[in-house]
Structure 1
Amino acid sequence: MFNLKNLFARAMLALMLVTGAGAVSAGPTYQVTIDTEGLSGTGKLDFFFGGLESAGAATAYLSNFSGNYGIFELEGDASGDRDTGITLGNSVFFNDYLQTVTLGGIFRFNVMFDFAGEGDGMTLGVALYDEFFTTYLGAEGNLVQFDLLPGSGVTVTAADGVARVAEVPEPASMAMLLAGLMLLGWTMRQRRMR
């Protein structure tokens, strides 16, 4: 009876490991680099997250900021700060994070998304304006744009020469699962040898 319970418990553990491996994999994280070395003075980085009314639930997470940042404003479904990260949701139409910057350097931040696979798409646009918020700097329109399309993933566009976007590599979930199973097998073998 004890062996049957033990076998059943091990089978359930293996089943949970195999079926849960895909669920814990996170979406891609993108590192955005904006180069303002040819500019001087003060500007404003505008992060707008929005979509149609029929868009599914979505959230954009901004973190790991580096650069010469000043004060900021949050509007709509936006919360947080640069130290802990900014969260932009889409529960209202206008969701914005407006960040004052000192131009002439490099600005970096990470972006990650959580969005439903239903409804219409969402867009995160990052634009650079002058200090009066009237003229685009670096490019006409968004320097970086992320289009979230249910069923298609994320499409990224960046202005040449001003902005770069790179996907941050993450460890493969299947490799981690196999390493865990090997460690579990090694532990069980060590117990039997005692």
Structure 2
Amino acid sequence: MFKLKNLFTRALLALMLATGAGAALAGPTYHVTVDTRGYEGSGTLDFLFLGYDTSAPGNAFLSNFTGDYGSDSAFEGDASGAIDSGVVLGTSDWYNSFAQSVNLGGRFGFDLRFDVGPAGGPLGFSVGLFSDALGQYLGADATPVSFELSPGQPDLIALDASLVRVAEVPEPAGMAQLALGLALMAWTARQRRKR
């Protein structure tokens, strides 16, 4: 009986480690906020995801859109989705773009997550902000924020701090795992004291 209990405990531990491995390999999720309070009129947020000949395959997932978005959107290349349900940009085509109309004068936010292959060259993701009234792109170099993604390397983020804020979103399960671990430690200590 004692050996069976020990075997069951080890098998349960192995199962927990195996099911948690996928989450450990996932890349970070970023929350991007674009502040257009200094501008008026209509405009366009232009999302671009580029892969090169030597690039690793990858996807960019956009979700949790907040702000005063317009009804017009355009997709080009390996891009699909909607503001309400989320947008996916892939790298199967060379040029992959999603453009969404916006009403300038407020803040626009979205969550961004990348899935990049294990080997290959870098991928590029950028967000452009176009003002219809001014007839030009806003921000430094017409790109308020850009990401360079290389397999096995940290993401490189360049941004125009006057327009954009980027924050890494913490894993929601982190606090729950900590609480569960502490509860299990307390239960184990209590069981040992009973013996």
TM range (shorter): 0.7 to 0.9
Matched residue type, 2:128: A
The structure with more helix, counted as a fraction of residues: 2
Aligned to 1:15: 14
Superposition deviation, residue 93 in structure 1: 0.7
Q: Give runs of aligned pairs for residues 11-90 of structure 1, distance below 5 A.
A: 11-25=10-24, 26-70=26-70, 71-90=72-91
| Structure 1 match to 2:102 | 101
How far off is 1:7 after superposition? 2.5
Quote the Cα distance in structure 1 between the aligned partners of 2:53 and 2:11: 43
- Sequence identity (%): 41
Q: CA RMSD in A?
A: 2.8
Give the C-alpha shift of residue 38 in structure 1. Answer: 1.3
Match of 2:141 in 1: 140
Q: Secondary structure at the match of 1:9?
A: helix
Confirm or deny: 8 A CA contact 2:44 2:130 kept in the other structure.
yes
- Secondary structure of 2:12 counterpart: helix
Listed as ranges, the gaps of 5+ residues in structure 2 are none
In structure 2, distance between residues paired with 1:181 and 1:106: 40
Aligned structure 1 segments of 4 or more residues deviating by more than 6 angstroms: none
Counterparts of 2:62 and 2:154, CA distance in 1: 18
Q: Which AA in structure 2 matches 1:40?
A: E
- State the one-letter code of the partner of 2:27: G
Instruction: Indicate if the aligned counterparts of 2:60 and 2:115 stay in contact, CA closer than 8 A.
Output: yes
Aligned to 2:128: 127
Task: Output the amino acid matched with 1:39.
Answer: Y
Matches within 5 A, 1:1-12: 2-12=1-11
Q: Which moved more, 1:174-183 or 1:156-165?
A: 174-183
Are the equivalent residues in 2 in contact too, given 1:22–1:173 (CA < 8 A)?
A: no
How far the C-alpha of 1:172 sits from its partner, in A, is: 6.8
1:153 aligned partner: 154
Q: Quote how far apart the aligned CAs of 1:39 are.
A: 1.1
Aligned to 1:176: 177
Query: Between Structure 1 and Structure 2, how many residues are aligned?
Result: 190
